[in-house]
């Protein structure tokens, strides 16, 4: 993979531990042919890990984020950063920081950034995905929405990656864990080795009603 992009990913601001980021990149590199798509990019740290794989594959990574921040980024919440608030509108805006991250890493040739709500973009998407990374807002409602709108686009043989999966509530929020369990319980996926809170599931088939 592109070592410069991996180094840039390690140095970038964000919440992806290095061991999980490298595991994410390896899984994307080993996925079958087809598009790589990320739901939830924040300031672009995980995007760079995926970009390192995409460049090695001779492809691109598509990332979709509304860039208004997740619940935990809003005023009064744990991960709020006042510097990310656009004073003109009084709302979080992570897009300028995301663009700086991607440009500084010279990854604009492999990153296709879509500014939209994930479920709205999913309704417009038609190509089968080789790799799907879910790392958006961690409320139950939004996590369920991301899984429900994007998992149907994942091809047989494709990889579903879910971040921040913590079986023990003491370690973190439970919404990603619940969609991870939900995906497994469909019988459509087989778990393959992940890393830390990063879970990786390979799609083996579609349920009969979705075939």
| Residue ranges in 63-156 assigned as alpha helix (H) | 95-104, 118-122, 140-150
Backbone dihedral angles phi then psi of residue 163, each to the nearest 5 degrees: -100, 160
* Token duo for residue 65: 């984020």
Burial (CB < 10 A; 0-12, 13-18, 19+), residue 166, is middle
Name the residue among 175, 61, 159 with its Cα closest to residue 109.
61
Contact 100, 47 (CB under 8 A): no
Count of CB atoms situated within 10 Å of the CB of 112: 15
Instruction: Give the residue numbers annotated as catalytic, written as ranges.
Output: 138
- Buried b / exposed e along 122-138 (16+ C-beta atoms within 10 A): beebeebbbbbbbbbbb
> Structure tokens of 54?
């995409």
> Sign of torsion, CA 77 180 53 38?
negative
């Amino acid at each position: 993979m592109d070592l410069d992009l991996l180094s840039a990913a390690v140095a970038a601001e964000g919440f992806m531990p290095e061991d999980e980021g490298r595991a994410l990149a390896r899984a994307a590199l080993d996925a079958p042919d087809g598009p790589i798509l990320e739901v939830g990019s924040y300031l672009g740290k995980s995007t760079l890990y995926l970009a390192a794989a995409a460049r090695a594959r001779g492809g691109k990574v598509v990332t979709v984020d509304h860039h208004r921040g997740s619940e935990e980024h809003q005023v009064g919440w744990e991960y709020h950063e006042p510097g990310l608030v656009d004073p003109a509108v009084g709302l979080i805006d992570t897009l300028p920081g995301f663009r700086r991250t991607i440009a500084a890493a010279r990854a604009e040739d492999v990153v296709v950034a879509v500014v939209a709500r994930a479920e709205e973009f999913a309704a417009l998407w038609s190509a089968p995905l080789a790799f799907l990374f879910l790392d958006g807002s961690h409320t139950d409602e939004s996590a369920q929405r991301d899984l429900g709108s994007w998992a149907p686009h994942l091809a047989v043989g494709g990889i579903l990656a879910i971040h921040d999966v913590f079986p023990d509530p003491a370690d973190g929020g439970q919404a990603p864990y619940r969609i991870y369990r939900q995906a497994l319980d469909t019988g459509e996926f087989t778990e393959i080795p992940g890393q830390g809170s990063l879970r990786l599931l390979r799609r083996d088939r579609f349920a009969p009603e979705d075939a």
